[in-house]
Amino acid sequence: MGAMAANSVFEAGRLGPIELRNRVIKCGTNEGMSRKGLVTDELIAWHREFTRGGVGMTTLAYCAVASEGRTFRDQIWMREEAFDGLQQFAAAAHADGACAAIQLGHAGWFSSPHATGTTPIGPSATFSPHAQCRARAMDESDFERVTAEFAAAARLAVAAGFDAIEVHCGHGYLLSQFLCPWNNRRRDQWGGSLENRARFPRQVLRAVRKAAGPHAAVYAKLNMEDGFSSGLVAKDAIEVARWIEADGSVDALQLTGGHTTRTPFFVMRGEVPLRDLIKNQRHWMARLGMRLMAPFLLKPFPFEEGYFLPRALEFRAALGLPLMLLGGLTQLETMERARNLGFDFVAIGRGLIRDPDLVQRLESGELKGSRCVPCNRCIVEMERGGTRCVFREKPGELTQLGGTFPR
């Protein structure tokens, strides 16, 4: 290759106290490979494809800060029993020259009582279609306890060797639920005005920042908008981002959007693999419910390369702290454009699931972009033994719907 271009995705970059070898982050995408709430060898091997393939940092997706915050039984949740596996995960990333991030969250209103054995909690007492029960509104003891659980999870992750903590404040998870007027109907200090709705997420971020210590990076995955009229809108999200920046609790923001309950495909865009999603439901009533409700719950959003970039530029103009851009970044040209527009890092999910060695192949000039097409069948595979690209079966082969195609 020739001389590296200014603001290249291939140049090293600082994220708070840590340095990444380049500006490409494998973002958190549920893997479906944990068992009994623990890291598995399969999960580590899956992430090593990305770290060996050249990413600057890989992200261990959604780890619940407590058992009650899980959405399915095998989901990783942070406790001492998980420490050894977490340590092995971080060590494997480091052995490949990459950094390791962990995504910490609490599902709140749509936690699964079948997985947790507890009633879901949320901003307000409302019926949760995901949990199929009525969530209870958090009380003062819950705010104190959950904040402490986020902090304890951060301490455990740092002790296990993780370089960065990602706090999930998006996609309709608990902290996002407080920001969302549709979820948060409170009229006390935790709801009502935007400042009150942002109080709990800001409190959690400050607690995580303190718990993580001086040597780990902390960033928040923050919705720019929920994607429906009664959800969080961009104007309010920018104000929340300004407050978070003023708090000094994060080293960066990873900008995203969408609400798991109302607009799940707002963040992914592209095709809705409805037939396969229905087949994945294990009980006939669940399949029937999915078939009846899918037209209302699974609204499609058209895919465009870099689809979050226009909205993210509004945040770039309003903020001074580092920003990570995600959303349909498959082409090198788009990634480099984002860097030159002021985004410090690019975060990629499906493009890397399709081509785990994408960074190396982009830098060598072998590829100009990922070969991912937004069919979204990779998310269906999570329920079939682990997230994978249906076009990528074996080295040297592309397999889809029973057909094999040469690479």
Q: How far apart are CA 160 and CA 150, in angstroms?
A: 15
Q: How far apart are CA 293 and CA 157, in angstroms?
A: 38
- CA atoms in the 13 A half-sphere facing the CB of 316: 17
Burial degree of 314 (CB within 10 A; 0-12, 13-18, 19+): middle
Question: Which DSSP symbol is given to 113?
Answer: H
Cα Rg of the chain (Å, integer): 20
- Do β-strands 24-26 and 57-64 pair in parallel, antiparallel, or remain unpaired? parallel
Residues assigned a catalytic role: 173
In 3D, which of 343, 340, 290, 282 has the Cα closest to residue 312?
A: 343
As given in the structure block, the two tokens for residue 163 are 């370089």
Q: How far apart are CA 151 and CA 149, in angstroms?
A: 5
3-state secondary structure (DSSP) of residue 356: coil
Q: To which H or E segment does residue 256 belong?
A: strand 252-256
In 3D, which of 253, 248, 403 has the Cα closest to residue 314?
A: 253
358 contacts: CB under 8 Å, gap ≥ 6: 24, 53, 54, 348, 351, 352, 367, 370
Q: Give the CA distances from residue 91 to residues 44, 60, 88, 162, in Å, rounded to whole numbers and listed in that order.
A: 10, 13, 5, 9
Q: How far apart are CA 206 and CA 225, in angstroms?
A: 22
- CA atoms in the 13 A half-sphere facing the CB of 270: 16
Q: How far apart are CA 309 and CA 401, in angstroms?
A: 33
3-state secondary structure (DSSP) of residue 87: helix
Q: How far apart are CA 374 and CA 370, in angstroms?
A: 11
